[in-house]
Chain A
Amino acid sequence: MEAVDRRASVGSDVPFFATFATLSIAYVLLIVALLAADVSYTSFADLLDALESEEIRYSIRLSFISCTITAILSVWFAIPIGYLMSRYEFRGKALVDGILDIPIVLPPMVIGLSLLILFQTAPGRAVESVIPVTFHVPSVILAQFSVACAFAVRSMRITFDQIDPRSETVALTLGCNRGMAFRRVALPEAGRGVLSAGTLAWARALGEFGPILVFSGATRMRTEVLPSTVFLELSVGNIEAAVAVSLLMVTAAVVVLVITRLVGMRRRGW
């Protein structure tokens, strides 16, 4: 009889699943509700109206071009940084690791302000005398890059962590130097990770607003990107246009997210 009692004391699994499922569903519903609210507030005509505005077309163009440049630059930096951080132990590594995460945790406005001040210093002004940065298009790319690259670095580091370093050591015994082993073995293995770091950086750059507002301003036909458009349209009370542009960004972000997921699935062999 005692054994039977002990079995009975295990209790039901229902409260566990009920709690976890309720919290999960509540958050998923919140996300879906946000998107549904946007869609219900706007119409196709509002979207067309928004697209007819030359300022908004400029902002779409600048957003897509700057995000693409930012994504390429981020991947370019993230590959070597992610590789070194994944493969090597060195003095001060924990410090470097912490520094690399700063753009992720720093408030966006602070990044913008810091960039603004950096370009007021002597080296910053020297750069400005050759290429105008602050309040010009390069500042948009630099502001996006400062944050997006940190995400790309994190993603590339995880990618290289998941790749067996022994492949590279075998390549060394087969006549490669470190560079050749990286190029011929590690980089092809990281291919999909590179693509996903790139899309992550792109999506991150698309949503960047705080640093751009401070460091680039939101001047129409000059440094206006899609988040600035939403801000500017809202500030003049044109909510329809703001929502239409928001939906455009949501669509672009979803497309990027889907690409990343598909790539991730194929990578895991699903």
Chain B
Amino acid sequence: MVIRLEGVCIRIGSFELTDVELALDSGEYAVLMGRTGCGKTTLLECLCGLKPLASGKILLDGRDISHARPGERGIGYVPQEGVLFPTMSVRHNLSFALDVQRRGAREIDERVRELADLLSVSHLLERGVRGLSGGERQRVALGRALAARPSVLCLDEPLSALDDQTREEMIAVLESVREQTGVTAFHVTHNRAEAERLATRTFVIEGGTLTAAGGESPR
């Protein structure tokens, strides 16, 4: 198992999500569904270390990361609307994680080129991020999260603000990212069609608990 959640409970204010049990193999693509405000985003934020767990454990590659700091987890995060760094070019958004890790210039350059090819944003590298379209922003946000080769990727409604054609293109991009990187993904969405296209596993959050859709066991 790449990632395993054992008895995870989250309590933030009046919000509560209890006894989350879940395990994903390498390369699995888990789609999390549920109504607005049910805690999908909060669960992703807890996985990334941005919100604390009330109890339970998160194991990543056998390592207990339940209380590790976000930057030490090795989990990539694509928030809603991408949230690119507005003062940086596309290139610097993509190289951010590697710059922080003080990787060598040549390694950074190669990785940025590789990501730009994978996500078809090579022609945008020197541009600022302000003028990018919704689809371009999401591609760059995806590349930024993938740069340091995380073993798990958390995507928060990455396709929600896109028109139909761009959404189709992004689904194809996500499929090729999964094939080529073998990353394990959590993808939050409201859209059932999107879930059917991408998911190898589907989970639903309802009434403060997480259940596997279609009667399968969450483990």
Contact = CB atoms under 8 A, between A and B. Distances in A.
B83 A173 contact: no
Contacts of A171: 85, 96, 100
Given A174-B100, A174-B148, A191 B87 contact: yes
Interface in B67-124: 69-71, 73, 75-77, 79, 83, 85-88, 96-97, 100-101
Contacts of A269: 130
Q: Is the interface of B mostly helix, strand, loop or mixed?
A: loop
A240 to B, nearest CB: 49
B71 A172 contact: yes
Nearest to A190: B87
Interface residues of A, number: 19
A184 B50 contact: no
A12 to B, nearest CB: 43
Interface in A134-183: 164, 166-167, 169-177, 180
A24 B203 CA distance: 59
B102 to A, nearest CB: 10
Residue picked from B49, B70, B88, most chain A C-beta under 10 Å: B70
A189 interface: yes
A173 B71 contact: yes
Contact of A170 (B49, B79, B101, B148): B79
Given A170-B79, A172-B50, A177 B87 contact: no
A107 interface: no
A174 B144 CA distance: 8
A188 interface: yes
A249 interface: no
Nearest to A191: B87
Contacts of A189: 85-87
Contacts of B71: 172-177
B188 interface: no
A51 B52 CA distance: 64
A100 B147 CA distance: 42
A15 to B, nearest CB: 43
A267 B48 CA distance: 32
28 contacts: A164-B83, A166-B83, A167-B86, A169-B70, A169-B77, A169-B79, A170-B77, A170-B83, A170-B85, A171-B85, A171-B96, A172-B49, A172-B50, A173-B49, A173-B75, A173-B145, A174-B71, A174-B97, A175-B148, A176-B71, A176-B100, A177-B69, A180-B100, A184-B100, A185-B85, A189-B86, A191-B87, A269-B130
Question: Which are the 5 A-B pairs with shortest beta-carbon distances?
Answer: A174-B97, A172-B70, A173-B77, A175-B71, A175-B100
Given A172-B71, A173-B50, A177-B69, 14 more contacts: A164-B83, A169-B70, A171-B85, A171-B96, A171-B100, A172-B50, A173-B71, A174-B96, A174-B148, A175-B97, A175-B100, A176-B71, A184-B100, A189-B87
